[in-house]
């Protein structure tokens, strides 16, 4: 797998310029002018393997897959290696190809939650984006890592945390992108068997 890392500015300073209220430890997300891809996972079937059309559920190491979960009527996807007995689990939830050719100002945001995570450095979720993943050629695709705010053990269990606005302008001129959430944990190490959830993914343009 080819990869590189990009750490974009998360526009925290923009919080002063928007009237919407957020928690002190949240990032303000500017109004979405045009969401050309969104997924709220509200058609999830509780406690089943995640198999939304067009999405890829890929266990890179181990066999743990993302699952679909419902909480108070709200759908989400979840990575939970607890008790599977495998020493290492690395699992990806990858979006369908998202057309971006017509857009010049590409942004994205999402929310995440955690529970039972005691070591967020080694039991974590990462954000990766590719412009050449076709749904099958995972190892041959080029993946770029982006910095984003994910829930940690400083947040209450199952409380959704905003990612902040992620700048994907480096993909301007590409025909499409795929957004990948890479979860890392362990089903045999109790320090690394916490769960993560992802929700409310939006890819959009903003002024």
Q: CA angle, corner 167, sides to 112 and 154, nearest 5?
A: 30
Residues 141-163: tens digit of each pLDDT: 999 999 999 999 999 999 999 99
Q: What local confidence, expressed as pLDDT, does residue 71 receive?
A: 87
Query: Is 92 among the domain residues?
Result: yes
Q: Is the pLDDT of residue 91 over 70?
A: yes
Q: What is the three-class DSSP state of 114?
A: strand
Backbone angle region of 164, left / alpha / beta, with phi > 0 → left and psi within -120 to 50 → alpha: left
Query: Is 69 among the domain residues?
Result: yes
> Could you give the CA distance from residue 34 to residue 178 in angstroms, rounded to a whole number?
18
Q: Is the pLDDT of residue 6 over 60?
A: no
Number of domains in the chain: 1
Q: Is the pLDDT of residue 109 over 60?
A: yes
162-180 average pLDDT score: 97
**pLDDT band (50, 70, 90) for residue 206:** confident
Q: CA angle, corner 176, sides to 142 and 206, nearest 5?
A: 115
The closest alpha carbon to 197, from 69, 21, 101, 92, belongs to: 69
53-67 average pLDDT score: 98
Q: What local confidence, expressed as pLDDT, does residue 16 receive?
A: 34
User: In CATH, what number is assigned to the domain containing residue 149?
Assistant: 2.60.120.200
Domain enclosing residue 42, as ranges: 31-206
> Which H/E stretch holds residue 6?
strand 2-6
Tokens found for residue 42: 């509200």
């Amino acid at each position: 797998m080819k990869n590189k890392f990009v750490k974009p500015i998360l526009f925290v300073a923009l919080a002063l310029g928007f009237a919407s209220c957020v928690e002190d430890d949240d990032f303000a997300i500017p109004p979405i002018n045009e969401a050309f891809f969104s997924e709220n996972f509200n058609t999830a079937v509780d406690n089943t393997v995640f198999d939304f059309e067009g999405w890829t559920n890929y266990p890179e190491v181990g066999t743990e897959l993302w699952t679909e979960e419902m909480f108070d009527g709200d759908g989400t996807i979840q990575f939970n290696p607890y008790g599977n007995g495998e020493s290492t689990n690395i699992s990806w939830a990858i979006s369908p190809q998202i057309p971006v050719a017509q857009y010049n100002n590409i942004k994205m945001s999402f929310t995440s939650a955690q529970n039972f995570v005691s070591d967020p450095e080694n039991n974590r979720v990462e954000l990766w984006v590719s412009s050449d993943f076709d749904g099958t050629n995972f190892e041959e695709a080029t993946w770029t890592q982006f910095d984003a705010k994910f829930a940690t053990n400083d947040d209450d269990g199952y409380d959704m945390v905003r990612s902040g606005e992620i700048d994907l302008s480096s993909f301007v001129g590409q025909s499409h992108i795929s957004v990948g959430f890479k979860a890392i944990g362990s089903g045999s190490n109790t320090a690394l068997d916490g769960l993560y959830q992802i929700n409310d993914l939006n890819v959009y343009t903003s002024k």
